[in-house]
Amino acid sequence: MAAESDKYNIKSVARCFQILDFASDHPGPISIQEVCNELDVNSNMAFRLLASLQSSGYMTKDPTTGLYAVSLKTLKLSRNALQSQDIRKVTMPYLELLWNQFPRANVNMAVFYNGEVLMLDRIDTQSTPRTYFTPGRQLPFHCTGLGKILTCQLSEVELDKLIAEKGLPKYTQDTITDPARLKALLAKVRIDGVARDRNEFINDDNCSAVPIIGPNGVIVAAISVSALTSNMSEEDIEGAIPKLKETASKISYMMGYTNASVM
């Protein structure tokens, strides 16, 4: 028997959202045939769904290739979603204070949502060049400090599923691509309460990250300090960890976590 909520589902609307999800994950524009295969519908239905998304402004169609892509209109939705996060309101003043102590670094915050490491906030370094972690950006979980913190509490079953879905792609010569080694590292991160990315995602970029804990003792977000070696040395990024932990403890307390330590 279908779930109670299924009675109120409009199938064509659900399919439109499926198309948007598919197009968002796809590396390039999508075709009608790809939508047919993904949704298991005929070409007439796929065309009508894509035409509806196009007319609403959420997808665009290339008149030359006939391929469809997500439009810039979706940015309004993501911006409003980011602005609606209560944790941002609590966290931002503390991130600004932290950045004042490390103005040559980037100060970042991320959450783990729907299997993705999602950047919510960032204060950029005063120095250039800058890295390209922008709010709303999805980060790999296995080679970023934020990603390691946000996934360190996952069970082995959950972690195996995440690895199977996302893989462990290699970004630099220091990226961890062995599942056993990654699991051992995440176990250590869980104990230490700090994660490090030392040249694992971007060459010559280092990051230290710590968790923000909710009232139930579960990690709800992570904050980090990151910088290219031309702005801050690896030793300086390592030295930022005590201040990071202090900041995370204050934010965790504001989020309702009353334990003395962060983890």
Residues forming beta bridges with residue 122, ordered by sequence position = 108
pLDDT at 168 over 60: yes
User: Can you tell me the distance from the alpha carbon of 244 to that of 263, in angstroms, rounded to the nearest whole number?
Assistant: 13
Q: What is the mean pLDDT of residues 226-255?
A: 93
pLDDT at 183 over 50: yes
Contact between 113 and 106 under an 8 Å Cβ cutoff? The reply is no
pLDDT at 2 over 70: no
Contact between 210 and 244 under an 8 Å Cβ cutoff? The reply is yes
Buried b (16+ CB within 10 A) or exposed e, 219-240: bbbbbbbbbbeebbeeebbeeb
pLDDT at 83 over 90: no
What's the pLDDT at 92? 85
Q: What is the mean pLDDT of residues 73-96?
A: 69
pLDDT at 63 over 60: yes
Q: What is the mean pLDDT of residues 237-253?
A: 94
- Please tell me the least confidently modeled range out of 100-114, 132-146, 193-207, 219-233: 132-146
What's the pLDDT at 219? 92
User: Can you tell me the distance from the alpha carbon of 112 to that of 253, in angstroms, rounded to the nearest whole number?
Assistant: 20
* 105-146 residue pLDDT tens: 999 999 998 788 988 888 888 765 545 456 678 899 999 999
- Which helix (H) or strand (E) segment holds residue 239: the answer is helix 234-239
What's the pLDDT at 176? 96
pLDDT at 152 over 60: yes
What's the pLDDT at 263? 44
Q: What is the mean pLDDT of residues 92-99?
A: 90
- pTM given for the model: 0.68
Q: pLDDT band at residue 81, thresholds of 50, 70 and 90? A: low
Contact between 176 and 190 under an 8 Å Cβ cutoff? The reply is no
What's the pLDDT at 76? 62
Q: What is the mean pLDDT of residues 182-196?
A: 96
Residues forming beta bridges with residue 146, ordered by sequence position = none
